[in-house]
């Protein structure tokens, strides 16, 4: 029997993911507070739900792609939410980036009601969601992983089963710690380069020929800020949110992360400026502006 899929959250990432699922043969019921992306999915053949409750009652698997823990808790655990209207055997596939304790609570509360939970936070950026090339870090039982794998394959190209429920979210935080701190570090390095008056391409050639190189500098900077494109693939606001999740989760686990804490406060400065909604590689432009130097470009 073909499973009925509900998709809640059609933002910058969710709209592309849901569109790929619909275009690849899944029949979706969709819900979002913004009617515009709902209209796009309906034009592709999806069915619009008037509420989370209506969507849940029409679904065997409910997919959520929401901004953070508060939104997930309201949609899943709140009055009129997934827990209140789900049936025995239903599965929640949460792809949001949230506090790991939120994921743990979802697993416990839905599990007690006879429902399953899979956490599958997303790697890569909005353009990858649009092109069906996302990366997923999945926390699930073996059976539940097998159940959601066809959905993930419709939305992405790389799927890692990281362990039990909650392990996907914790893997995402480990990954994003390195990605965001690297982005902040690159911004400082290239601001220093600009102050020194060094040639950008020559210096990049040196860096990329040593162990100083990193993926943010080789991939994200090279295709975003250094070309003059700072429109968000992953916004500074979201980078700050994720660093907060990382620091809080580390505190709960009694793991000191002084570099993450310092990076969060540094990103807080950028978040208070006009750059807050821009791509996190625009940290370079923020720091160059503060230093009074022209931001380097390829």
- The pLDDT tens digits for 26-46 are 999 999 999 999 999 999 999
The reply to whether 15 and 156 lie within a common domain is yes
Q: What's the structural domain count of the chain?
A: 2
Contact 154, 127 (CB under 8 A): no
Domain co-membership, 55 together with 10:
yes
Query: Mapped to the 3 state alphabet, what secondary structure does 32-89 carry?
Result: CCCHHHHHHHHHHCCEECCCHHHHHHCCCEEEECCCCHHHHHHHHHCCCCHHHHCCCC
- For the chain, give the percent of residues with pLDDT over 70: 100
pLDDT in tens, 151-167: 999 999 999 999 999 99
Helix, strand or coil for residue 204?
helix
| 17 and 96 part of one domain | yes
CATH number, domain with residue 132: 3.40.50.720
pLDDT tier, 233 (very low <50, low <70, confident <90, very high otherwise) = confident
178/272 same-domain check: yes
Domain co-membership, 177 together with 130:
no
Task: Write the CA distances from 110 to 8, 65, 90, 152, 222, integer angstroms.
Answer: 17, 18, 9, 21, 43
Q: Who has greater pLDDT, 221 or 2?
A: 221
Considering the domain boundaries, does residue 297 fall inside one? Answer: no
pLDDT band at residue 2 using 50, 70 and 90 as cut-offs: confident
Instruction: Verify whether residue 15 is a known catalytic residue.
Output: no
Catalytic residue, chosen from 15, 24, 172, 254, is 172
Q: Based on the fold, state whether residues 107 and 32 are members of the same structural domain.
A: yes
Last residue of a domain, one of 144, 164, 184: 164
Mean pLDDT (whole number) for 254-266: 97
CA atoms of 45 and 38, how far apart (whole Å): 11
Tokens encoding 12? 């910058």
Instruction: Convert the pLDDT of each residue in 89-129 to its tens digit.
Output: 999 999 999 999 999 999 999 999 999 999 999 998 888 99
Average per-residue pLDDT for the chain:
97
**What pLDDT digit, counting tens, does each position of 172-216 carry?**
999 999 999 999 999 999 999 999 999 999 999 999 999 999 999
Same domain, 21 and 94: yes
My answer on whether 12 and 143 are in the same domain is yes
Which range of residues forms the domain containing residue 270? 170-291
pLDDT class of 285 with cuts at 50, 70, 90 = very high
Residues 39-84: pLDDT tens digits?
Answer: 999 999 999 999 999 999 999 999 999 999 999 999 999 999 999 9
**Domain match, 129 and 83 both:** yes
Which residue, 164, 199, 219, sits at the end of a domain?
Answer: 164
Whether pLDDT at 1 is above 70: no
Claim to verify: residue 224 and residue 133 sit in the same structural domain: no
pLDDT at 126: 86
Residue 138 lies in a domain: yes
The reply to whether 285 and 201 lie within a common domain is yes
Per-residue pLDDT, 125: 84
* Residue 298 within a domain: no
């Amino acid at each position: 029997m073909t499973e009925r899929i509900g998709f809640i959250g059609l933002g910058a990432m969710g709209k592309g993911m849901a569109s790929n699922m619909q275009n690849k043969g899944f029949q979706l019921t969709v819900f979002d507070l913004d009617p515009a992306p709902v209209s796009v999915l309906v034009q592709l053949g999806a069915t619009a739900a008037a509420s989370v409750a209506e969507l849940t009652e029409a679904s065997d698997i409910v997919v959520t792609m929401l901004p953070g823990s508060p939104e997930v808790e309201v949609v899943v655990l709140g009055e009129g939410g997934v827990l209140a209207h789900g049936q025995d055997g239903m599965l929640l596939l949460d792809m949001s980036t949230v506090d790991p304790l939120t994921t743990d609570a979802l697993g416990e509360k839905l599990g007690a009601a006879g429902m399953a939970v899979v956490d599958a936070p997303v790697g890569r950026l909005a353009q990858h969601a649009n092109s069906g090339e996302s990366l997923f870090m999945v926390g699930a039982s073996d059976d539940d992983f097998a159940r959601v794998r066809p959905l993930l394959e419709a939305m992405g190209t790389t799927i890692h089963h990281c362990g039990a429920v909650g392990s996907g979210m914790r893997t995402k935080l480990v990954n994003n710690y390195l990605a965001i701190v690297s982005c902040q570090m690159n911004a400082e390095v290239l601001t220093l380069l600009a102050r020194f008056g060094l040639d950008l391409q020559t210096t990049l050639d040196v860096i990329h020929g040593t162990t100083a190189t990193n993926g943010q500098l080789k991939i994200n900077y090279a295709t975003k800020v250094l070309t003059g494109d700072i429109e968000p693939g992953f916004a500074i606001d979201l980078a700050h949110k994720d660093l907060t999740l990382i620091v809080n989760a580390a505190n709960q686990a009694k793991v000191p992360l002084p570099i993450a804490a310092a990076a969060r406060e540094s990103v807080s400065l950028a978040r208070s400026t006009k750059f807050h909604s821009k791509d996190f590689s625009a940290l370079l432009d923020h720091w160059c502006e503060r230093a009074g130097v022209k931001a380097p470009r390829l």
